[in-house]
Amino acid sequence: MSAAISDLRNEYTLSGLDTTDVLSDPIAQFRLWFDAALNAHVPEPNAMHVSTVTAEGRPDGRIVLLKDVSDTGFTFFTNYESRKGKELTARPFATLTFFYPELERQIRIEGRVEKVSPEESDAYFNSRPRGSQIGAWVSQQSTVIDSRSVLENRQRELEAQFAGQPVPRPPYWGGFRVIPDVLEFWQGRPSRLHDRIRYRKDGDNWLIERLSP
């Protein structure tokens, strides 16, 4: 190893963030930062870390792609029978984390989770490339398999089965929506004195607070 991990550090100097800088609506503020990430050509700006909790109370996380944001919440799609799908069904709360190192920014979102309607899941599934549609049928996500050939053989079977016809959405595949009650916008600053602005739901209103770094 060429350098000690403990010696790796960056000084954040691009910008600052104050309560007077942010919009009153946290969803609008998210869109503002998301658009900035798009304009900065951040790779996969919709990639987010989704945190769940197991039955034993252990945290569990993975990277998932955000597919929609609205005034209602943040939506992504998955296999409902996967590990994260089962965890979200049993304990319907999650935290989402976006990190944009090019902009020295991070966004954290906490909230309860609900499944989207079958119609919403159908609409998104029908917009996916055909290979991804078949892939949703191929993978029994999070289960143990003997080898990659299991997937490849199943893929060939399903391509033959659905040849010449639309691929239907698997009944176990669909969307989750995270309905936020906390959003935090983090802007890196020098000397680790970062700016943290938190929106916290209070009835029908959002409280805007500055947090110590």
Residues classed as catalytic: 192
The pair of structure tokens assigned to 3 is: 């350098």
Q: Let me know the angle formed at the C-alpha of 209 by 207 and 213, rounded to the nearest 5 degrees.
A: 150
Q: Let me know the angle formed at the C-alpha of 203 by 200 and 206, rounded to the nearest 5 degrees.
A: 35
Neighbours of 67 (CB within 10 A): 15
DSSP secondary structure string for all residues of 164-199: TSPPPPPTTEEEEEEEEEEEEEEE--GGG--EEEEE
Cα–Cα dist 66/34, whole Å: 11
